[in-house]
């Protein structure tokens, strides 16, 4: 796409932005981070931070894209040449997350294939599936390569063609499926314990790291701090009211995470031998449950298909940022940029796949709990200072509330968000030194 296009329909934007935000972060990462952080108190802090800090930053990224019509690197250096390095840092993060995400998407692909080949047999032994996969490094790398290849193909096809069709077809189906499965999992005897675990805030479980882990997860799940939303905002049509768009995306994303919790915890607590705190939680819990449910294999196939397409949607968003920045900066063709980024992503994936799960957890923690909040801090600083005179984009003349919201939003960008991020990083440091 030589010239910057815009979404053909209003829903095109929503589908792509929600497609980027909703993904493995909600269904795979959220449950085990909640498990690891002690449940309800973490969930409460997470929801508050998503609305109070994540949403204003999401809006700011969309505004930066819409007002500059550029990707993050050019948009930031358009404000001031010195800011370019913050953009570079974000694009670098996107590259690392793209690679890391490909590994987990590969796991999803594995389960999708397993459920598919077992459809005719109607039953199968699910218990050893995840540990068997963990023992096969080459298989993990192969699956990650297939995922990267598929992402490249979709991105090369271009914004409208690539994204809208995929995600549009999947979202409603996924929601219905998820609700059906939650209905079944809430019928388990452990559901009361699960609800208490998820929603009763036991503040004695809070540690020095809780704030940082919640904040990091908010940025990750809303795709904030990577420049993804800047790119999506740049394709947004003139008539779109950004705060409303951002609010809808953040709301959908947060609801989806809570639904994932409602699905996984009754199952995991019922089984009692599933570790709540490890990245394998979703992959250990759900298949075991499905093996007992009537028609579970078909359900499993449909679930992992939807989850895979959601993972693909998020990966497309990541590759889209990398490619559009590459193209904006170097005038390399879109196709070439997509291939180069894909190959680089695969090379980065080699190291963690050939080490144990501890290595993956370390990459995850450095990336999401430390580097991502730093990137968000840089963005807060730049955007708070460059948006002083951008009321027109923010304020919807039909809605008086948006005038009040505007000053709140600037306050968050200037003071509340930076202070929270700095505090969260400081607390995490205390936890390490403790
Ligand atoms: N928000 C996505 C998720 O929750 C991950 C992601 C991050 C996607 C950054 C694109 C950019 O799965």
Per-residue pLDDT, 401 = 67
**Ligand 1 pocket mutation pick from 21, 255, 308, 322 by most atoms within 8 angstroms of CB:** 21
Instruction: Tell me the C-alpha distance between 336 and 40, whole Å.
Output: 46
Mean pLDDT across the chain: 89
Ligand 1 center to 24 CA (angstroms): 7
Instruction: Tell me the C-alpha distance between 302 and 292, whole Å.
Output: 16
Residue labelled with tokens 């032994």: 125
Ligand 1 center to 98 CA (angstroms): 9
Instruction: Tell me the C-alpha distance between 147 and 151, whole Å.
Output: 6
Q: Which residues contact 132 (CB under 8 A, 6 or more apart)?
A: none
Instruction: Verify whether ligand 1 is closer than 6 Å to residue 20 (CB atom).
Output: yes
Handedness of CA 115, 117, 123, 127 (dihedral sign): negative
Query: What integer is the mean pLDDT of 185-211?
Result: 96
Determine the Cα angle at 158 with ends 249 and 113, to 5°. 75
**Residue 168: is its pLDDT beyond 80?**
no
Q: Which residue has the higher pLDDT, 279 or 49?
A: 49
Q: Which atom of ligand 1 is nearest to the CA of 24?
A: 12
Q: Which of 18-22, 95-99, 169-173, 299-303 has the lowest mean pLDDT?
A: 169-173
pLDDT in tens, 274-330: 889 989 999 999 999 998 888 889 999 999 999 998 999 899 889 988 998 888 888
Coil vs helix vs strand at 256: helix
Per-residue pLDDT, 398 = 65
Instruction: Tell me the C-alpha distance between 428 and 105, whole Å.
Output: 29
**Residue 89: is its pLDDT beyond 80?**
yes
pTM: 0.94
Query: What integer is the mean pLDDT of 377-391?
Result: 82
Query: What integer is the mean pLDDT of 223-231?
Result: 91
How far does CA 403 lie from the centroid of its chain? 30
DSSP symbols for 318-351: HHHHHHHHHHHHH---HHHHHHHHHHHHHHHHHH
**Ligand 1 pocket mutation pick from 16, 20, 71, 232 by most atoms within 8 angstroms of CB:** 20
**Residue 157: is its pLDDT beyond 90?**
no
Res. 96 pLDDT band, cuts 50 70 90: very high
Instruction: Verify whether ligand 1 is closer than 6 Å to residue 151 (CB atom).
Output: no
Res. 386 pLDDT band, cuts 50 70 90: confident
Q: Which of 15-24, 141-150, 158-167 has the lowest mean pLDDT?
A: 158-167
Q: Which residue has the higher pLDDT, 269 or 18?
A: 269
Ligand 1 center to 17 CA (angstroms): 10
Closest CA to 276 of 31, 111, 23, 27: 31
Res. 69 pLDDT band, cuts 50 70 90: confident
Q: Which atom of ligand 1 is nearest to the CA of 321?
A: 11
**Residue 207: is its pLDDT beyond 90?**
yes
Per-residue pLDDT, 2 = 37
Q: Which atom of ligand 1 is nearest to the CA of 314?
A: 8
Q: Which residue has the higher pLDDT, 15 or 430?
A: 430
pLDDT in tens, 324-354: 888 888 889 989 999 999 999 999 999 888 8
Res. 241 pLDDT band, cuts 50 70 90: confident
**Residue 1: is its pLDDT beyond 50?**
no
Instruction: Tell me the C-alpha distance between 250 and 18, whole Å.
Output: 8
Residue labelled with tokens 């090379």: 347
Query: What integer is the mean pLDDT of 374-380?
Result: 95
Percent of the chain with pLDDT over 70: 91
């Amino acid at each position: 796409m030589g010239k910057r296009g815009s979404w053909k329909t209003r829903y095109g934007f929503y589908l792509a932005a929600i497609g980027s935000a909703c993904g493995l972060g909600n269904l795979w990462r959220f449950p085990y981070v909640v498990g690891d952080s002690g449940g309800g108190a973490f969930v409460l802090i997470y929801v508050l931070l998503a609305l109070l800090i994540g949403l204003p930053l999401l809006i700011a990224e969309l505004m930066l894209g819409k007002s500059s019509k550029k990707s993050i690197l050019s948009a930031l250096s358009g404000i001031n040449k010195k800011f370019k390095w913050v953009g570079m840092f974000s694009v670098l993060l996107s590259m690392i997350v793209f690679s890391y995400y490909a590994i987990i998407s590969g796991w999803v692909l594995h389960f999708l294939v397993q459920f598919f080949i077992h459809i005719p047999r109607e039953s199968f032994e699910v218990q050893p599936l995840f540990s068997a996969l963990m023992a096969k490094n080459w298989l993990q790398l192969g699956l990650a390569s297939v995922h990267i290849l598929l992402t490249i193909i979709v991105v090369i096809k271009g914004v409208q063609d690539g994204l809208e069709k995929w995600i549009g077809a999947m979202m409603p189906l996924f929601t219905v499926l998820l609700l059906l499965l939650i209905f079944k999992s809430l019928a388990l005897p452990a559901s009361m314990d699960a609800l208490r675990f998820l929603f009763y805030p036991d503040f004695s479980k809070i540690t020095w790291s809780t704030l940082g882990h919640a904040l990091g997860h908010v940025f990750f799940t809303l795709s904030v701090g990577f420049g993804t939303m800047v790119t999506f905002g740049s394709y947004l049509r003139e008539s779109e009211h950004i705060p409303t768009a951002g609010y809808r995306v953040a709301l959908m994303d947060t609801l989806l995470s809570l639904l994932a919790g409602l699905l996984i915890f009754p199952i995991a607590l019922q089984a009692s031998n599933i570790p709540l705190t490890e990245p394998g939680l979703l992959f250990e819990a759900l298949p075991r449950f499905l093996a007992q449910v009537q028609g579970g294999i078909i359900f499993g196939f449909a679930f992992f298909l939807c989850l895979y397409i959601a993972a693909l949607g998020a990966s497309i968003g990541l590759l889209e940022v990398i490619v559009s920045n590459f193209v904006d900066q170097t005038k390399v063709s879109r196709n070439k940029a997509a291939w180069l980024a894909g190959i680089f992503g695969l090379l980065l994936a080699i190291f963690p796949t050939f080490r144990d799960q501890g290595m993956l957890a370390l990459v995850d923690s450095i990336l999401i709990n430390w580097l991502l909040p730093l990137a968000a801090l840089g963005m807060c600083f730049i955007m708070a200072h460059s948006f002083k005179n951008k009321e027109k984009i923010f304020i919807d003349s039909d809605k008086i509330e948006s005038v009040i919201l505007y000053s709140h939003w600037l306050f968050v960008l200037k003071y509340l968000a930076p202070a929270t991020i700095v505090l969260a990083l400081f607390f995490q440091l205390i936890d390490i030194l403790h």
